Chain A
Amino acid sequence: MTTVGNGGRHGPDGGGKPGSGAPLTLTKKDFASDQEVRWCPGCGDYAILSTFRAFVPELGIPPEQMVFVTGIGCSGRFVYYMDTYGVHGIHGRAPAIATGVATARPDLSVWVVTGDGDALSIGGNHLIHALRRNVNVKILMFNNQIYGLTKGQYSPTSEEGKVTKSTPFGSLDHPFNPVALALGAEASFVARTVDVDRQHLTGVLRRAAAHDGAAFVEIYQNCNVFNDGAFLALTGKESKGLNQIRLEDGEPVKFGPDGARCVAVEFDGTLRIADTADTPEELVYVHDSGHANPAPAFALAHLSSGPTEPTALGVFRDVRRPVYGELMDRQIALATEKLGRGDLGKLLHSGDTWVVEDGGVPTGPLPS
């Protein structure tokens, strides 16, 4: 518990870790607000919301200890549907606002929900800096590879050549690889999952929640109105078995029917998709999300150039690094130990002062 060094009164200022305290029996109802959910019928956001509500009670965090911060976009509506504390901010700035919340109050469980445009276009700067600082926020990026709310322009994750309202002749932009971007920003936790796979999504959320510090989770989310089927290769009944590359720690990465395909380690250290039959067992990549070097995770992120072909899903990286808010609390504690608890009178009188005795002739108020 941190205390405030000012005048003896305390503002809300830290406390235990999220989830500490008496065990609680919470249910999904405790987290559902009374607001009517208003996404387009069939939108992938429903699946994510429903999975999240079903999952969150297991964390044992009282809903008043949770804060959702969202940006602008269809995904931004998420905040209104969770009966926790919440801020619906402005376009792209949720990671910045959440940085303030989480740094001021390390006792809270802070979640950001953002979209591909929100997080990677207008808010790209805040995203990378929140990740690099390792602020204790869990960032869920709903990637539908389109601008949903503004009715269908291409986004920074749309594939090259994408035909949209703003690109009738096809987009010229090369897309971001969000997982690679997060890794490049020194994120300590990076994962990818899909909206409709409840079990996988839950597993990833569980790992993210357990992670100390910033967690970046890319969730492929179907926008059935403006970009329907973008992730069919990974979600279709038949295709998903062919294309989902599941990352499990300690396991050799194999996929496809009977594990016929695998991720092979090349002699130059890069990774490549290969036929298992042609690959010596010791050259099949064994996943380790805790690897000190981000290079394997980066290579996994680049196995595919988009979700239309075999693509890695799961936790790419999960390493420990000092957490920003806790660092700041510690610095305050150390400074207080060294300098003594702040005393305003002492501060004002520090340095050179001089005294005018009673005999000083008052000449009316000084300019202050």
Chain B
Amino acid sequence: MPTKTVEQKERVVVRFAGDSGDGMQLTGDRFTNATAVLGNDLATLPDFPAEIRAPAGTLAGVSAFQIHFASQDIVTPGDAPNVLIAMNPAALQTNLRDLEPNGTLIVNEDAFVDRNLEKAGYASNPLEDGSLDGYRVYRVPMTSITVRATEGMGLTKKEAERSKNMFALGLVSWMYSRPTDVTTKWVEKKFNRKPDILRANLAAFRAGYNFGETTELFAHTYEVKPAPALPGTYRNIAGSTALAWGLVAASVRSGLPIFYSSYPITPASELLHELSRHKNFAVRTLQAEDEIAAIGAALGASFAGQLGVTGTSGPGLDLKQETISLAVALELPLIVVDVQRAGPSTGMPTKTEAADLLAALYGRHGESPLPVVAASTPANCFDTALEAARIAVKYRTPVILLSDTFLGNSSEPWRLPDVDGLPEIDPHFATQVNHDDGFMPYLRDENLARPWAVPGTPGLRHRIGGLEKEDVTGNISYEADNHERMTKLRAAKVAKIADDIPLLEVDDETGDAELLVLGWGSTFGAIRGSVRRTRRSGKKVAHAHLTHLNPWPRNIEEVLRRYRRVLIPEMNTGQLSMLIRARFLLDAESYTKVQGQPILAADMDEQITRRLTR
């Protein structure tokens, strides 16, 4: 047996790419878990095809999963992959352009037959024509070895071939010295009712692992040491799961049952799927007939004393706006989650964008202010959901929580919080008459929030509606001064939340940065990663990130004015930067990217370097 050398690596980016029927998401997911358990820091990003059942072998059917893992803390799923596993020509065609120069390319040689090459638009076989000379290419007959390894297990050839993703997983696990028991255990559990499939998957996985070990094709394995991290218990978590769990946590910490109603839409459906699994937390989930019904039912549940939540993506947000404005008038707690995707209209449903900020802030008729928060990393979705709930309940207001496709799908390790240390949320239901003349539904407290009196409470019967209400009594009023007063009160209530949120923190190591990068949402990882990196090469750059988009932290203007230059990167055409410029008459610069892909740390490197030539 040839002896293999072990090479140390600090960080590696691996991308698995194949046909959507090849099980690449699962392969990536399993590799991620083995990596997480090993203690590497990591970040992942799946890239699904838009069509669910695109014809096999076509470019439209390519599905990919990228993982960045390192022995240091990292903040993004990585930019250019160092390693690309291409299960067929279409996967090579669509992903090769991202592979770093001289990067490692592992291809399933068996799939490079004429029919597949043609579907992928190759005039000649790239494995033969020299076009891959700039890469380290490993040709592995994955399909045929898998079929051989599973021979005699009672599977048809087709069934046997389906395990080739496990072969790829085994091979890459060997290359990067991943533990095998995590995967083995998972396979055993997953297929314990299908013994044939179980055996085939294990055999394919082992065959892949052994292939690396025994063939002379691969000269060495790599090792990525565990990343130093704060002590604690960790798990890997995707943004959509974290967001759903944050809502469950809000229920636990408030005692309010969650009422989640939603109409299926990519990529927000994940929230409905996840929450509907947690009925034992008294979570009520309703798949409504449309987005309008979904938010209507959530608002009704809030009126009835539960925590109404609805989730959607851009097209659904449009439909919900009239009801959101009703919630602004009713002043009831409500959370609207918008997992943003590329628009306008149906746009690119599986691709990311963060262009709903203005719609969230100003997308309704009339003066209709509400708090808006945005999550910044997958794990941060948990905290942001809790924060949205805290604000909604305390201030009796609808809150829009912005996430996006990238955040929802990508994952990172999460140091699990202590449940008892999570913020408590007091629903503070009204139980008593609050005025000499009877119950006044719009008599406000010190936060300008009105009482939440739920049906069934004796003595507090009242009617509320979308018609303008008289201050204090809540009776219908078309009186001129009253409308102006109520308009200002609603705005003041939201503005006052600024006193109740953390100040904007700046990551400015030396305190003498010249350029401040101000971000919001899922650009966090790319900005933070790049700021750290460019600083090491002497750039004087700082980073601040907004969770609260309305109201902004009290010190935002002061922070912005501290820096000579301000750069605002966004996955839209400059929505936050327009607001900052308008509000503060400040010459903030905008960097925008609307390609359906996240802003990368490399993009930020270039933007920062270009502005700080010294």
Q: Does A7 contact B (CB under 8 A)?
A: yes
Would you call A88 and B467 a contact (CB within 8 A)? yes
Which residues on B sit within 8 Å (CB–CB) of A244?
none
Residues on A lying within 8 angstroms of B by beta carbon are 2-13, 15, 33, 35, 62-69, 72, 79-80, 82-90, 93, 96-105, 107-108, 125-126, 129, 328, 331-332, 335-336, 338-342, 344-345, 347-349, 351-368
Tell me the count of chain B residues lying within 8 A, CB to CB, of chain A. 95
Would you call B255 and A93 a contact (CB within 8 A)? no
Which residues on A sit within 8 Å (CB–CB) of B525?
367
Which residues on B sit within 8 Å (CB–CB) of A364?
73
By Cβ-Cβ distance, the 8 closest A-B pairs, closest first, are A100-B300, A88-B465, A96-B296, A9-B255, A342-B281, A100-B297, A12-B305, A368-B379
* With contact pairs A6-B281, A80-B463, A85-B461 given, residues A125 and B293 touching in the complex (Cβ less than 8 Å): yes
Would you call A67 and B228 a contact (CB within 8 A)? no
Whole-angstrom CA separation of A144 from B500 in the bound complex: 51
Which residues on A sit within 8 Å (CB–CB) of B371?
none
Which residues on A sit within 8 Å (CB–CB) of B229?
356, 360, 362-363, 366
Would you call B252 and A367 a contact (CB within 8 A)? no
Would you call B416 and A96 a contact (CB within 8 A)? no
Q: Does B209 contact A (CB under 8 A)?
A: no
Report the minimal beta-carbon distance from A33 to chain B, rounded to whole angstroms: 7
Q: Does B201 contact A (CB under 8 A)?
A: no
Contact with A along B265-307 (1 / 0, CB 8 A): 0000000000000111111101011101110111111111111
Interface residues of B in 354-387 (CB under 8 A from A): 377, 379-380, 382-383
Report the minimal beta-carbon distance from A309 to chain B, rounded to whole angstroms: 34
Contact among B231, B254, B280 with A335 in the assembled complex (CB-CB below 8 Å): B280
Contact among A12, A339, A344, A351 with B252 in the assembled complex (CB-CB below 8 Å): A344
Residues on B lying within 8 angstroms of A by beta carbon are 33, 36-37, 39, 41, 72-73, 75, 182, 227-236, 245, 248-249, 251-257, 259, 261, 278-284, 286, 288-290, 292-294, 296-308, 322-323, 326, 330, 377, 379-380, 382-383, 412-417, 419, 427, 429, 454-467, 475-476, 524-525, 528
Contact among A4, A339, A352 with B257 in the assembled complex (CB-CB below 8 Å): A4
Which residues on A sit within 8 Å (CB–CB) of B475?
35
Would you call A368 and B380 a contact (CB within 8 A)? yes
Q: What is the chain A residue whose CB lies nearest that of B298?
A: A100
Whole-angstrom CA separation of A355 from B305 in the bound complex: 39
Q: Sample 14 A-B pairs with CB under 8 A, ordered by A number.
A: A6-B281, A35-B475, A67-B304, A85-B463, A86-B462, A87-B300, A89-B466, A90-B323, A104-B305, A125-B293, A328-B286, A341-B280, A352-B36, A368-B380
* With contact pairs A87-B463, A100-B299, A368-B383 given, residues A332 and B293 touching in the complex (Cβ less than 8 Å): no
Whole-angstrom CA separation of A341 from B245 in the bound complex: 15
Q: What is the chain B residue whose CB lies nearest that of A357?
A: B231
Which residues on B sit within 8 Å (CB–CB) of A356?
39, 229-234
Would you call A11 and B257 a contact (CB within 8 A)? yes
Contact among B230, B286, B306 with A362 in the assembled complex (CB-CB below 8 Å): B230
Which residues on A sit within 8 Å (CB–CB) of B248?
342, 344, 347
Whole-angstrom CA separation of A90 from B299 in the bound complex: 12
Would you call A103 and B286 a contact (CB within 8 A)? yes
Would you call A6 and B257 a contact (CB within 8 A)? yes
Whole-angstrom CA separation of A171 from B302 in the bound complex: 41
Would you call A5 and B281 a contact (CB within 8 A)? yes
Which residues on A sit within 8 Å (CB–CB) of B297?
96-97, 99-100, 103
Which residues on A sit within 8 Å (CB–CB) of B465?
79-80, 86-89
Would you call A348 and B279 a contact (CB within 8 A)? no
Which residues on B sit within 8 Å (CB–CB) of A353?
233-235, 416
A-B contact sample (16 more), CB < 8 A, given A15-B456, A85-B463, A354-B233? A13-B306, A35-B475, A64-B459, A65-B456, A68-B463, A80-B476, A90-B326, A96-B297, A104-B300, A104-B304, A104-B306, A108-B455, A347-B281, A352-B182, A365-B230, A367-B379
Report the minimal beta-carbon distance from B471 to chain A, rounded to whole angstroms: 17
Would you call B296 and A89 a contact (CB within 8 A)? yes
Would you call B326 and A103 a contact (CB within 8 A)? no
Would you call B251 and A6 a contact (CB within 8 A)? yes
Name the residue among B233, B294, B429 with the largest chain A CB count within 10 angstroms. B233
Whole-angstrom CA separation of A339 from B525 in the bound complex: 36
Which residues on B sit within 8 Å (CB–CB) of A352?
33, 36-37, 182, 235-236
Whole-angstrom CA separation of A97 from B281 in the bound complex: 23
Which residues on B sit within 8 Å (CB–CB) of A332?
279-280, 282-284
Q: What is the chain A residue whose CB lies nearest that of B290?
A: A125
Would you call A11 and B36 a contact (CB within 8 A)? no
* With contact pairs A5-B280, A84-B461 given, residues A348 and B245 touching in the complex (Cβ less than 8 Å): yes
Would you call B415 and A368 a contact (CB within 8 A)? yes
Report the minimal beta-carbon distance from A40 to chain B, rounded to whole angstroms: 17
Report the minimal beta-carbon distance from B509 to chain A, rounded to whole angstroms: 10
Report the minimal beta-carbon distance from B561 to chain A, rounded to whole angstroms: 26
Contact among B228, B305, B416 with A11 in the assembled complex (CB-CB below 8 Å): B305
Whole-angstrom CA separation of A105 from B39 in the bound complex: 46
Would you call A6 and B282 a contact (CB within 8 A)? yes
Report the minimal beta-carbon distance from A197 to chain B, rounded to whole angstroms: 28
* With contact pairs A11-B427, A361-B228 given, residues A67 and B284 touching in the complex (Cβ less than 8 Å): no
Whole-angstrom CA separation of A328 from B455 in the bound complex: 19
Would you call A126 and B279 a contact (CB within 8 A)? no
Would you call B293 and A366 a contact (CB within 8 A)? no
Whole-angstrom CA separation of A89 from B413 in the bound complex: 43
Whole-angstrom CA separation of A358 from B308 in the bound complex: 41
Contact among B232, B259, B377 with A103 in the assembled complex (CB-CB below 8 Å): B259
Whole-angstrom CA separation of A209 from B234 in the bound complex: 54
Contact among B292, B300, B323 with A69 in the assembled complex (CB-CB below 8 Å): B300
Report the minimal beta-carbon distance from A261 to chain B, rounded to whole angstroms: 41
Which residues on A sit within 8 Å (CB–CB) of B279?
331-332, 335-336, 339
Report the minimal beta-carbon distance from A74 to chain B, rounded to whole angstroms: 13
Would you call B230 and A87 a contact (CB within 8 A)? no
Whole-angstrom CA separation of A101 from B308 in the bound complex: 10
